[in-house]
C-alpha cells in the first residue's frame, strides 16, 4: 500500500525544542541546521515553516478556513508550576520547610520513599536543602580587602541522604551548580549567588538562570495527560495533585514533538529600518503558516498545541488554548505596502513570495495558558480563566491564484511566537523514576475510588532496537523476536508499549505470544499513517508467570512501504488494576454509502456521560461488495483514528471490532462521528450500524 507524499521536511525531536531551560543538547538546543537560506526573507514559507511539519492534513484554502473565525481547545491543558531550576525543580519543598511534617517533602522525595525503597535517616527533616539566594562567592584569586566571605556549604549531609530520584533531579535539573564547588560559568567566582560585588550582577547562581525550569516538560504533559483530581496514598506516602503533576512533568522532560520554525537565540534583537528583525530565526514562524495552523488546530479540530511565545534568548513554552479574529480585511497591494512600511514600492520587488496575488490583513487575539504555583493544589482546569492570558497579533496572509495560503508577513514584531510545536508522547526524564508508576498514580487520582495497591512488584522490561531491526516487506512470515524476562511475577495486570517506525501502518499486524497464548496488539489499522507509538492494556496473560521467553511477531502484509521495530516495553504488576465503568453506545441507523465519493457519510453518536477514556472497542457492521474501496475512521473534536483503509480487496462486507486508542485520556462526553467513504466506482454498500464500548 504505497503512500503518496507531499514535499515535506519532518522534524521529530526530543524536546529539546526548548526550555524554560538551559540551552544544551539535553534541553533547549537549537537545531544544527534548519534547511534555510539565511539571505531569504522567508515571506513565503520554506520547508521548516511549512504547516506540514505538524504531520496533520490541514486545509490551506482561504475560502475553506475563512469560517473558523474563533476556536478553543476541547480538551484543555492543565495549569502547573514550571518548577524552576534555581529552586531545585521538583525537589523543592513547596509546602515549606518543616522539622516534623513528612507530608511536606518534595514530590521526588515522596517518590523515593514510595517506590525506590529509600529510608531517610531519623534526623532528615532537620537537614536543610540549599536556600537561594544566599550570600556566597569568592573571586578565585582575590586576597585581603578584595576577598569576599565564603559561606560554607552546610547542606552536604542533606544531599548525601537523598534517594536516587531526588539526587538525579538535583544534579541534572536543579541547583547543583550553585553548590558543587566549581566555577561553572567561568566568571572567576565559585558558587556565586548575590554576595559577589565586583560591578557585575552575580544573581545567576553560578550559571543557573532564574527563568530556567521545566515548562518544556509541563506543556506536553498538560496537553497529553489528564489532570489529576485528588490525593493518592500509596505505600504509606500521600501524593497531592501538585505532587502527581510534578512527577508527570518530570517524565515528559524529553518528549517527541513536531516543530515548526526555529529558535531565536539573540539577547538583543536588531531590526532593520522597517522594523523587521535582521536575524531570520527571530521572524521565521511565518505569519501565513501560523494562520493555517491555528485555524485548523483550534478552529476546525479544537485541539491545543504549544508555542514559545517570546522571541529572544529566553524561551517560554505555553499551551495555546484558543483564539478570536478581531479584524479580517482584504487589502490592495498599495495598502499592503503601507502596512509593511514600504509605501510606494511593489510587493514582489521587496518580498520573497512570487505566487501571492491576494492579501488579507488579520488582527487576532490568541489565548495561552500561564503557569500556576505549586502551592495552588488540586485540579485547576475548572478555574482555567484565572490562568488564561491573551496576546494580540497583527499580520498579513498571502494567497495565490488558486485561493491557497502560501505565506505571510507580520505587521508588528512586538508580539509574535518564536516557534510552534505539537507534542506527541513522552520519552522519559528522571532515570530513577518509572513512567508506569507515575501513570498508575494518575489513574488512581482520576478514579472515584482508589484502594491502595501493592506496587513493589511492578516491573518494566524495555527492549530498545534501532534501524537495523528492519521489518521484511510484504512477507507473510514476517519476523519473530524473542523477549526474555527473568522476573517471576504472577501477572495481575499488564501493559505493552510498542514503537514501530513505518510509512504505512495499515500494512502491519503485530502480536505478542507466550506459552501458547497469543494476543494481537495491532491489526492493519491506521491506513496510510506513519508510525505506531501506543501503550496497550493486555489481559490475556493475567494469572500467568511473567518469567520466560515472550515472542513478538511483526508482519508487513503489503509491498512498497517499509519500516523497523524501534522499541517495545513489557510492564507487569501483581496489583490488579482498579476496574472502571464501561458503557456501550449504539447507532442502529442504516445509511447507504455513496459510490466513489470521498466525502462519504457521517454517522453520529452523542455521548452525554462524563469521564476520562481508558479504552474504546468499536464494532462496525457494513455490507459492501468490495471492502477494498472503503475508508473508515472515527472522529471527535478534530482528533481521529483510521480504522480501515482500503484493505481486504474484493472481499464482501466488513463486520469487525477495533481497539481504538487515539482518544485515551480524553473526555468521553461529546459528539462522536464515524466517517465512511467509498473511493472507487461500481461496488455499493450500506452502513448497518455501529457500537462503541467505552471504558472510563
393 and 370 in a single domain? The answer is yes
176 and 304 in a single domain? The answer is no
Please identify, among 178, 210, 242, the residue that sits at the C-terminal boundary of a domain. 210
274 and 338 in a single domain? The answer is yes
Average pLDDT, the chain: 82
Distance CA 550, CA 579 (A): 26
590-594 CB contacts, 8 Å cutoff, 24+ apart: 590/686, 590/687, 590/688, 590/689, 591/686, 591/687, 592/684, 592/685, 592/686, 592/687, 593/622, 593/624, 593/630, 593/676, 593/677, 593/678, 593/684, 593/685, 593/686, 593/687, 594/678
Q: Please give the helix or strand (H or E) that residue 660 lies within, else none.
A: strand 654-660
- 546 within domain boundaries: yes
Single pTM value for the model = 0.63
- 691 within domain boundaries: yes
265 and 371 in a single domain? The answer is yes
Strand-strand pairing, 459-464 and 563-573: antiparallel
User: For the residues 353-357, what does the mean pLDDT come to?
Assistant: 88
Confidence of residue 157 (pLDDT cuts 50, 70, 90): confident
Please identify, among 210, 231, 246, the residue that sits at the C-terminal boundary of a domain. 210
Contacts of 219 (CB under 8 A, 6+ apart): 77, 306, 317, 318, 319, 423
pLDDT at 34 over 50: no
Please identify, among 519, 553, 573, the residue that sits at the C-terminal boundary of a domain. 573
- 172 within domain boundaries: yes
Q: At what angle are helices 241-251 and 215-224 packed, to 10 degrees?
A: 110
Q: Any idea what the CATH number is for the domain that residue 597 is in?
A: 2.60.120.260
Pick the range with the lowest mean pLDDT from 137-151, 156-170, 189-203, 570-584. Answer: 137-151
pLDDT given for residue 149 in this prediction: 37
For 106-130, the pLDDT digits (tens) are 999 999 999 999 999 988 888 888 7
pLDDT given for residue 134 in this prediction: 57
597 and 557 in a single domain? The answer is no
- Percent of the chain predicted with pLDDT > 70: 85
pLDDT at 18 over 70: no
565 and 587 in a single domain? The answer is no
pLDDT given for residue 122 in this prediction: 87
Do you know the residue count of the chain? Answer: 696
Residue 275's nearest CA partner among 417, 420, 409, 418 is: 409
For 256-282, the pLDDT digits (tens) are 888 888 777 767 777 777 777 777 767
Confidence of residue 577 (pLDDT cuts 50, 70, 90): low
pLDDT at 47 over 80: no
Retrieve residue 594's grid coordinates: 455513496
Contacts of 568 (CB under 8 A, 6+ apart): 462, 463, 483, 496, 497, 498, 499, 552
For 373-429, the pLDDT digits (tens) are 888 888 898 888 889 999 999 999 999 999 999 999 999 877 888 889 999 888 778
What total number of domains does the chain contain? 4
Residue 607: which domain range? 582-695
497 and 397 in a single domain? The answer is no
529 and 678 in a single domain? The answer is no
For 77-107, the pLDDT digits (tens) are 999 998 988 889 999 999 888 878 888 999 9
553 and 590 in a single domain? The answer is no
pLDDT given for residue 464 in this prediction: 80
- 225 within domain boundaries: no
pLDDT given for residue 468 in this prediction: 72
> Nearest 5°: phi and psi at 425?
-165, 165
266 and 390 in a single domain? The answer is yes
- 445 within domain boundaries: no
- 452 within domain boundaries: no
- 444 within domain boundaries: no
- 224 within domain boundaries: no
For 208-260, the pLDDT digits (tens) are 787 888 889 999 999 999 999 999 999 999 999 999 999 999 999 988 888 88
76 and 93 in a single domain? The answer is no
pLDDT given for residue 667 in this prediction: 85
Helices (H), 522-614: none
For 294-347, the pLDDT digits (tens) are 999 999 999 999 998 888 767 788 999 999 999 999 999 999 999 998 988 998
pLDDT given for residue 205 in this prediction: 76
Most confident of 186-190, 399-403, 659-663, 681-685: 399-403
Residue 129's nearest CA partner among 83, 94, 80 is: 94
pLDDT given for residue 17 in this prediction: 36
Distance CA 533, CA 567 (A): 9
518 and 372 in a single domain? The answer is no
Amino acid at each position: 500500500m504505497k503512500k503518496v507524499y507531499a514535499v515535506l521536511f519532518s522534524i521529530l525531536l526530543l524536546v529539546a525544542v526548548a526550555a524554560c531551560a538551559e540551552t544544551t543538547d539535553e534541553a533547549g538546543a537549537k537545531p544544527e541546521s534548519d534547511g534555510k537560506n539565511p539571505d531569504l526573507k522567508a515571506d513565503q514559507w520554506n520547508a521548516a515553516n511549512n504547516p506540514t511539519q505538524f504531520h496533520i492534513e490541514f486545509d490551506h484554502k482561504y475560502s475553506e478556513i475563512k469560517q473558523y473565525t474563533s476556536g478553543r481547545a476541547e480538551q484543555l491543558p492543565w495549569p502547573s508550576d514550571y518548577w524552576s531550576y534555581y529552586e531545585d525543580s521538583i525537589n523543592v519543598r513547596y509546602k515549606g520547610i518543616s522539622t516534623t511534617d513528612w507530608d511536606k517533602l518534595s514530590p521526588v522525595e515522596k517518590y523515593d520513599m514510595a517506590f525506590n525503597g529509600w529510608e531517610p535517616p531519623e534526623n532528615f527533616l532537620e537537614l536543610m536543602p540549599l536556600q537561594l539566594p544566599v550570600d556566597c562567592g569568592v573571586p578565585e584569586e582575590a586576597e585581603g580587602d578584595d576577598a569576599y566571605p565564603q559561606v560554607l556549604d552546610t547542606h552536604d549531609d542533606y544531599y548525601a541522604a537523598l534517594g536516587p530520584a531526588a539526587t538525579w533531579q538535583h544534579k541534572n535539573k536543579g541547583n547543583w551548580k550553585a553548590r558543587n564547588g566549581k566555577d561553572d560559568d567561568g566568571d572567576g567566582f565559585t558558587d556565586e549567588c548575590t554576595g559577589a560585588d565586583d560591578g557585575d550582577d552575580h544573581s545567576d547562581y553560578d550559571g543557573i538562570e532564574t527563568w530556567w525550569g521545566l515548562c518544556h516538560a509541563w506543556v506536553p504533559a498538560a496537553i497529553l495527560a489528564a489532570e489529576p483530581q485528588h490525593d493518592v496514598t500509596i505505600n504509606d506516602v500521600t501524593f497531592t495533585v501538585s505532587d502527581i503533576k510534578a512527577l508527570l512533568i518530570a517524565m515528559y522532560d524529553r518528549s517527541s514533538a513536531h516543530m515548526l520554525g526555529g529558535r531565536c537565540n539573540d539577547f538583543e534583537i536588531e531590526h532593520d529600518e522597517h522594523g523587521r528583525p535582521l536575524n531570520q530565526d527571530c521572524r521565521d514562524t511565518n505569519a501565513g503558516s501560523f494562520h493555517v495552523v491555528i485555524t485548523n488546530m483550534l478552529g476546525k479540530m479544537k485541539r491545543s498545541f504549544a508555542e514559545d511565545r517570546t522571541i529572544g534568548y529566553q524561551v517560554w513554552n505555553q499551551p495555546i488554548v484558543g483564539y478570536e479574529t478581531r479584524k479580517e480585511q482584504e487589502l490592495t497591494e498599495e495598502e499592503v505596502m503601507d502596512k509593511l512600511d514600504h509605501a510606494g514600492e511593489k510587493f514582489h520587488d521587496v518580498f520573497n513570495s512570487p505566487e501571492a496575488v491576494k492579501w488579507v490583513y488579520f488582527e487576532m487575539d490568541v489565548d495561552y495558558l500561564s503557569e500556576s504555583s505549586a502551592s495552588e493544589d488540586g485540579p485547576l482546569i475548572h478555574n482555567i480563566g484565572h490562568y488564561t492570558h491573551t496576546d494580540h497579533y497583527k499580520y498579513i496572509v498571502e494567497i495565490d491564484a488558486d485561493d491557497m495560503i502560501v505565506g505571510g508577513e507580520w505587521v508588528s514584531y512586538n508580539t509574535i511566537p518564536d516557534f510552534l510545536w505539537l507534542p506527541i508522547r513522552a520519552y522519559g526524564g528522571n532515570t530513577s523514576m518509572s513512567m508506569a508508576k507515575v501513570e498508575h498514580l494518575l489513574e488512581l487520582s482520576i478514579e472515584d475510588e482508589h484502594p491502595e495497591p501493592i506496587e513493589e512488584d511492578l516491573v518494566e522490561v524495555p527492549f530498545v532496537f534501532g534501524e537495523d531491526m528492519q521489518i521484511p516487506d510484504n512477507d507473510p512470515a514476517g519476523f519473530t523476536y524473542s523477549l526474555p524476562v527473568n522476573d517471576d511475577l504472577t501477572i495481575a495486570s499488564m501493559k505493552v508499549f510498542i514503537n514501530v517506525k513505518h510509512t504505512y501502518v495499515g500494512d502491519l499486524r503485530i502480536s505478542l505470544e507466550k506459552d501458547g497464548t497469543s494476543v494481537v496488539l495491532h491489526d492493519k489499522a491506521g491506513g496510510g499513517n506513519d508510525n505506531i507509538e501506543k501503550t496497550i492494556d493486555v489481559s490475556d496473560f493475567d494469572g500467568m508467570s511473567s518469567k520466560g521467553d515472550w515472542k513478538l511477531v511483526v508482519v508487513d502484509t503489503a509491498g512498497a512501504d517499509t519500516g523497523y521495530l524501534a522499541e517495545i516495553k513489557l510492564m507487569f504488576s501483581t496489583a490488579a488494576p482498579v476496574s472502571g465503568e464501561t458503557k456501550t453506545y449504539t447507532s442502529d441507523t442504516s445509511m447507504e454509502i455513496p459510490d466513489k465519493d470521498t466525502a462519504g457519510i457521517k454517522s453520529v453518536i452523542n455521548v452525554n456521560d462524563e469521564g476520562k477514556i481508558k479504552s474504546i472497542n468499536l464494532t462496525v457492521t457494513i455490507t459492501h461488495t468490495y471492502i477494498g474501496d472503503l475508508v473508515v475512521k472515527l472522529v471527535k473534536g478534530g482528533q481521529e483514528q483510521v480504522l480501515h483503509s482500503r484493505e481486504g480487496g474484493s472481499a464482501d462486507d466488513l463486520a469487525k471490532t477495533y481497539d481504538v486508542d487515539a482518544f485515551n485520556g480524553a473526555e468521553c462526553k461529546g459528539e462522536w462521528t464515524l466517517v465512511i467513504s467509498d473511493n472507487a466506482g461500481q461496488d455499493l454498500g450500506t452502513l448497518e450500524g455501529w457500537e462503541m464500548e467505552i471504558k472510563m
